[in-house]
Amino acid sequence: MATIVQTPSGTYKALVRMKGWPTTSKTFRLKRDAVDWARRTEDEMVRGVYISRSGSERLTIQEALQRYLNEVTPTKKPTTQRSESITAQHLTGFLGKYSMAAVSSELVASYRDHRLTAGKANNTVRIELALLSNLFTVAMQEWGLGITHNPVATIRKPSPGKGRDRRLTGDEEQRLLDAVEAHSNPMLAWVVTLAIETGMRQSEIVNLRLPHVDLQSRVVRLSDTKNNSSRTVPLTAAATAALKNAINNPIRPKETDLIFFGEPGRDGIRRPYQFAKIWGSIKQAIGANDLHFHDLRHEAVSRLVEGGLSDQEVASISGHKSMQMLRRYTHLRAEDLVTKLDGLTKIRAVVLDVYGTIAAINNKRSPFARLLQIGASQGRTRTKEDSRALMTNPWDLHEAAQFFGIELTGAELDELEQDLETELDSITLYADVVPTIRALQRRGIKVALCSNLAKPYAAPITRLLPMPLDAYAWSFEHQAIKPDRNFYERVCEKLMCSPNQVLMIGDTPIADVSGPREVGMQSLLLDRKALTDSKDKIHSLTGLLDAL
């Protein structure tokens, strides 16, 4: 039951008591607001959905972030702790005075736009939003503040920034090594060498300790990594030499097992070697201001891929948990891949044109052409689209006549159909067709037919071939003719091959050679009248086997 009491200060205090629920109260300036709140609260209690929001209404974002930094952040790695401390300052500056209950999706979106407008990188804003989102998640799950939803979850996040593809170019690596070797502290040169040779992260290198290194086996065993997964990193000869020199460094103090050590702090404890300022001056000296130390990891991992190691082998060395993350780091030089791509472009399918390529019509009667002549005698004007229409529609002679509006007598139709039957009966395959197709199939190469033809001319070909093929692409089925790009693309889709893995053979330069090449297919012209083969032309299908 709700009770409304006026306080000495003139405000109104609503007090709700209901069996099974904790006593709840809230103060308002106006009595009607107190009454409305009391009714809503009682209704939620009756329906069993009441959640006390007083905690989230009293706790500001600034206070919540401070609690997060005190309770949650210390459980993370030192680098993450420093990053979250800085990120919290940015969030506090914009949202700090708002209560947790007052932060809406619109307010978070406003913060996002404010940061992006200020010129901050997409990834920076994504990291800040991630911390804010995690703050609300922890508050909902562990702090019991009565928050019912995460306002960050429903807003658009900035798209991830494009992964860096910075590689060492030209003599840049040698200039870098010369510069770090000339530095007064030899540890810098050893650290850079290890980064290039092993792909270890900066934090992993500078935190190396004597028990981690096995020079005899030439491996480094890492237990404290970015993703908390231990791994063993093999060492190249150059990396082994660098570590050996670092371990035998005559000035390395005995009281620490750090291989790369810094000066003692105020507490007398030595911490890992830090070289951020030195790295900046080195970059400037060699004219590589855009080079990040982490780019050396990109370089190392890319070289492992270029060296022929499998994705699994590279991941075991680099420590990437997913192939997606690994691909971000393997930006291979295009010029280094040209030769390999040439070797990888293996023909996996051969597409053959039909008439003039694998088959001949020995008794030509041209019934469809004669049909159009009859139409012309009736006053119908022939157009360039007539042939395309005949080859892109599944018509017989009667259906074609109806489409073109040509009137045929019974005798004329019978004569045209007899000519068609005579023509189809005269179709034969060239002698080299069946042996060539069998040889291709024995090699595991797919074979398909692709032809511009009227529907009646397809069936004789499938009857004459003694074996099934992998695909058939007839113009009357696809409503397209060569050299339409989508016709070739559909053939490749049927074969489940990329265009550069498919070889087109035919007797027409445009439809069978230049057309396929425009979509990335390979092609050869078949000229059965020629006496010899050349680079882009064969005189028989037997020459195709030699070309492959």
Q: Distances from the Cα of 436 to the Cαs of 346, 429, 488, 536, in angstroms?
A: 18, 12, 22, 18
Active site residue 183: no
Q: Which residue has the tokens 């209560």?
A: 99
Which residue is catalytic, options 294, 380, 490, 539?
294
Q: Give the total residue count for the chain.
A: 548
Active site residue 329: yes
- Cβ-contact 243, 213 below 8 angstroms: yes
Active site residue 201: yes
Q: How many CB atoms lie within 10 A of CB 432?
A: 16
The Cα angle at residue 507 between residues 504 and 512, in degrees rounded to 5: 40
Q: How many helices (H) and strands (E) does the chain have?
A: 25, 16
Active site residue 298: no
CA–CA separation, 333 vs 167, rounded Å?
8
Structure tokens at 441: 């199939």
Written as one letter, the residue type at 150 is N
Which residue is catalytic, options 201, 212, 298, 482?
201
Active site residue 463: no
CA–CA separation, 155 vs 142, rounded Å?
23
CA–CA separation, 463 vs 422, rounded Å?
16
Which residue is catalytic, options 212, 298, 320, 494?
320
CA–CA separation, 219 vs 194, rounded Å?
12
Which residue is catalytic, options 50, 68, 329, 488?
329
Active site residue 488: no
In sequence order, what are the beta bridge partners of 451? 474
Which residue is catalytic, options 26, 167, 183, 226?
226
- Cβ-contact 51, 149 below 8 angstroms: no
Compute CA 410 distance to the chain's CA centroid, rounded to the nearest angstrom.
63
Residues serving a catalytic function are 201, 226, 294, 297, 320, 329
